[in-house]
Amino acid sequence: MKKLLALSLLLITALAVFTACSNDEPEENDVTRIVIGATPRPHLEILNYIAPYLLEDGIEIVTREFTDFHIINPAVTQGDLDANYFQHAPFLNASPQADDLYMLGLVHIEPMGAYSHTLNSIDELFEGAVIAIPNDATNGGRALLLLQTHGLLTVDPAAGVVAAISDILENPLNLQFEQLDAALLPAMLNDPRVDMAIINTNHVLNATNLNPMRDSLIIEATENNPFSNGIAVRVEDANSEVFLTILRHLQSQRVYDFIMREYDGAVLPVFTP
Predicted pLDDT of residue 30: 87
Strand, coil or helix: 247 = helix
Render 35-85 in DSSP notation, one character per residue. Answer: EEEE-IIIIIHHHHHHHHHHHHTTEEEEEEE---GGGHHHHHHTTS-SEEE
Please, how many CA atoms are within 13 Å of residue 195, restricted to the half-sphere of its CB?
A: 16
Into how many domains does the chain fold? 2
Last residue of a domain, one of 198, 219, 240: 219
Q: Which amino acid is present at 52?
A: P
Q: Does residue 15 sit within a domain?
A: no
| Burial of residue 12, with CB atoms counted within 10 A of its CB: 0-12 exposed, 13-18 middle, 19 or more buried | exposed
Do 175 and 201 lie in one domain? The reply is yes
Predicted pLDDT of residue 39: 95
Last residue of a domain, one of 219, 239, 254: 219
Predicted pLDDT of residue 29: 61
pTM, entire model: 0.84
Do 69 and 42 lie in one domain? The reply is yes
Do 134 and 98 lie in one domain? The reply is no
Q: Does residue 236 sit within a domain?
A: yes
In the chain, which residues have pLDDT < 50? 1-27
Sign of the four-CA dihedral 254, 257, 262, 265: positive
Do 171 and 128 lie in one domain? The reply is yes
Render 126-165 in DSSP notation, one character per residue. Answer: -TT-EEEEESSHHHHHHHHHHHHHTTS-EE-GGGGGG--G
Q: Does residue 14 sit within a domain?
A: no
Q: Please choose, from the candidates 17, 31, 102, 95, the residue with its C-alpha nearest in 3D space to the C-alpha of residue 60.
A: 31
Instruction: State how far Cα 12 lies from the chain centre.
Output: 55
Residue 45 sits in a domain of what CATH number?
3.40.190.10
Range of the domain at 85: 32-111+226-269
Predicted pLDDT of residue 15: 38
